Structure 1
């Protein structure tokens, strides 16, 4: 399909699909944080430890990570739209399970259902976007997809803690019931507008015939032998470890380290994610201007690492530490578009979907491993170490990104030499 044809697609048509998928993706990130903002209330009511609470995140992301790899096959078989509907239904069930939990087992069930719901989102979202959005606007679609994810993360603590603190009953159970209502409302909107997210229509054929032929000639798992794929996986793993520390434990660490009230420190995740969303917008312009993407990633993520370490050092005042921790999100956001482009460059022709699926499973693994590790630190009173560990994880992700960039430049030199 020619670029002229794709550019003639009405903006309203593309915007409708992009907006609906953005809404769904934001909801999935909201449900990443269905339980973590409520950890202090779980400790008070059920007498659980921070390590046990960290394991709830591990349950979520282990199920999500394994399910993500399998969901791609299901999406190819039955289509992305019904899988997306099923995922949102799982979120409704997860929130209701949390609201009715009578102990730690009930929280584990809620976490498992939320992880099951989260699993299909990347293969389903990207399948619909690739098949429904015209090629000329696909980059903007990916940008909106990432930003709405950050906004979902930002809204969860505000919504859940706000309802818990300011409702008449001061009930976290009411907050969970309302979260179920959010997922049900989003599901209703998608069902109402289901024609705009039907992945059986509108395939724009973004892959060239040459790419398709290359994909057919190679074994479907051949991409797993590429070092760049695993370096990108490593990058996702380490950067997600840092995000896990902030999402799950930044609030209680700041509360204990600086004596700040819980209703104030619970906003640090919202601030971090909003700064990340702002950074992502600016980072989209950097991608077009910087050839060596790993330099952008290195500078911005190392800046974020320094800010996280400073926030955990105890040196600034309490409010200043909160602001500094939030600003660290700006660095991760700036790196986001460059990260996604780096992964795209690492993907061989015809294997983009499989590469993204594998690399994104590094995100799930990072969340699954990091949560209990940082939870154990908090149980032992190692407050500053949580922030120091997050900063160290960002630094390790920079090493992975640098290695990917070095390999890509070496490959480009070999191609130029052969052409000469």
Structure 2
């Protein structure tokens, strides 16, 4: 392969960068909204279909197993055909998953929804970061990553409110129909703005060894990144899937108040992402920023797990945990960018972010069993311990950044 990387103009108009960042942010919000296509209605499914916590956790395991396998593969496809076609396909699949959810009559139907939504989710991270890295000017990348993380958190925050609202106004089946229409609307907007989303594909010449495209997998730093995402996401999965039930069981908090606490966690995370964008733009040590923010979040989460606080203070501290995690988000993405060889953006982001899916898949199997045994405080304490392990992984990435030169850059069309 010969190297021919994209070079952006020295002075790119702010409007151009802002438009691209906004479109990618909306796409990312849509994918995170899809992560919570099922969990907000877990209490409804338990009552209507007689399901256990472990069965509900298995739904999310299916979602993220499919997403993880698909994401690792999607990175290669994104590098080959470009990001835009994969984005359109993903949004269409999410619309189909929501429509299917409106018709389910039992657990098998929910499993099908989880698998289809997982397939839809698989392409977003390699797609998003390929577009941002190719189309946004370098000085604004820190803020682009901040906006990307922020909009993802807003997607998470919107889902519980969305499904609670439309279920209250009509019923849960109508809520899913509206969600399908929402995805169709986002897809239509992306199509109208498709010129902003075009990316260059990696060209493999005939004289290039076939195994070269896999060479990035030999880099230890890539696997340290994978480990970080796996571990940090296991903690996030606990908060998303079980925090409402934990708050209700430990402190007698109503379902509505517990759901609002989850939304507050996501909104605080989004605020943290915003602040973290400025931190990432100025810090030369992304790994240290990530390690510090995750350490603070782990301590706060452990305090919630002790049961020492009353109901109100526990809700406040849990929301503050989201802010601490959010601070490290943009620095996390900058850390991954520094660890990514040229010409391998889609492949590396696809593999690394499949660690996120792996964490989401494993966590419900472990902590769902905790919940079924009534170990509510232990669930939060375990999640905090896993988050501390992710700090070790982040520092491991930092020590190995700079070794990516082992992989020669790929040619770009």
Q: Same fold judged by TM-score > 0.5?
A: yes
Structure 2 unmatched runs, 5+: 203-207, 405-413
Inter-partner Cα distance in structure 2 for 1:133 and 1:364: 26
Distance 1:313 1:403 in 2: 30
User: Deviation of residue 343 (structure 1)?
Assistant: 2.2
SS in 2 for 1:316: coil
Measured at CA, do residues 61 and 80 of structure 1 come closer, stay the same or move farther in structure 2, by a change above 3 Å?
same
- Is it true that 1:263 corresponds to 2:272 in the alignment? no
| Distance in 2 of aligned mates of 1:194 and 1:286 | 31
Q: CA deviation at 1:15?
A: 1.9
C-alpha deviation, 1:257, in angstroms: 1.1
Contact 2:287 2:395 in 1 (8 A): yes
Counterparts in 2 of 1:137-286, with a 5 A limit?
A: 137-164=140-167, 166-167=168-169, 169=170, 171-199=171-199, 219-286=212-279
Q: 1:337-394 deviations in whole A, cap 9, x for unaligned?
A: 2222222232344434432222111101000000122111111111111211110111
**C-alpha distance in structure 2 between counterparts of 1:228 and 1:260, whole Å:** 43
Change (3 A) 1:378 1:88: same
Cα offsets for 1:114-150 (capped at 9, x unmatched): 1111111122222333333334433332222121111
Give how far 1:260 is off: 0.8
CA RMSD of aligned residues (A): 2.6
Q: For 1:156 and 1:235, locate their aligned partners in 2 and report how far apart those are by CA, in whole Å.
A: 26
Choose 288-297 or 312-321, whichever is displaced more. Answer: 288-297
CA shift for structure 1 position 55: 0.6
What does residue 336 of structure 1 align with?
329
Q: Give matches, 1:108-147, under 5 Å.
A: 108-147=111-150
Greater CA deviation, 305-314 or 57-66?
A: 305-314
1:197 CA drift (Å): 1.9
By how many angstroms is 1:298 displaced?
2.5
TM-score, length basis structure 2? 0.89
Deviates more, 1:263-272 or 1:75-84: 75-84
1:85 equivalent to 2:88? Answer yes
| Equivalent residue, structure 2, for 1:59 | 62
- For the pair 1:68 / 2:71, whether they are aligned, the reply is yes
Distance in 2, Cα, partners of 1:304 & 1:231: 20
TM-score by length of 1: 0.88
1:220 match: secondary structure: helix
Q: Secondary structure at the match of 2:213?
A: coil
Distance 1:77 1:408 in 2: 26
Distance 1:18 1:356 in 2: 18
User: Contact 1:235–1:400 (CA<8 Å) still a contact in 2?
Assistant: yes
**CA distance in structure 2 between the aligned counterparts of 1:70 and 1:279, rounded to whole angstroms:** 31
1: CA distance between counterparts of 2:210 and 2:62?
38
Alignment of 1:98-117 (within 5 A): 98-117=101-120
Question: Matched residues in 2 for 1:217 and 1:350: separation?
Answer: 15
Distance 1:79 1:344, change over 3 A: closer
Aligned-residue offset at 1:77: 4.0
Tell whether the 8 Å contact from 2:79 to 2:347 is kept in structure 1 after alignment: no
Answering whether residue 352 of structure 2 is matched by residue 359 of structure 1, we say yes
Whether the 8 Å contact between 1:308 and 1:328 is mirrored in structure 2 is: yes
> 1:2 and 1:392, CA in 2 relative to 1: closer, same or farther beyond 3 A?
closer
Is this contact kept in 2: 1:276–1:332, CA < 8 A?
yes
* Residue-pair matches, total: 397
In the aligned structure 2, how far is the partner of 1:110 from the partner of 1:223?
A: 33
Structure 1, unmatched stretches of 5+, are 206-214, 413-420
CA contact (8 A) 1:245 1:371 kept: yes
Do the aligned partners of residues 216 and 278 (structure 1) sit closer, same or farther apart at CA in structure 2, a change above 3 Å counting?
A: farther
Q: Does 1:23 align with 2:16?
A: no
Separation in structure 1 between the aligned mates of residue 112 and residue 180 of structure 2, nearest angstrom: 15
Report Cα offsets for 1:158-178 as digits up to 9, x if no partner.
1112222x31x4x22222122
**Distance of 1:346 and 1:80 partners within structure 2:** 20
Alpha-carbon distance change, 7 to 216 in structure 1, aligned in 2, over 3 angstroms: farther
Q: Do 1:245 and 1:370's aligned partners in 2 also have CA atoms closer than 8 Å?
A: yes
Change (3 A) 1:44 1:4: closer
3-state SS of 1:309 partner: helix
Per-residue Cα deviation, 1:168-208 (whole angstroms, up to 9, x for no partner): x4x222221221121111112112222222336xx9x9xxx
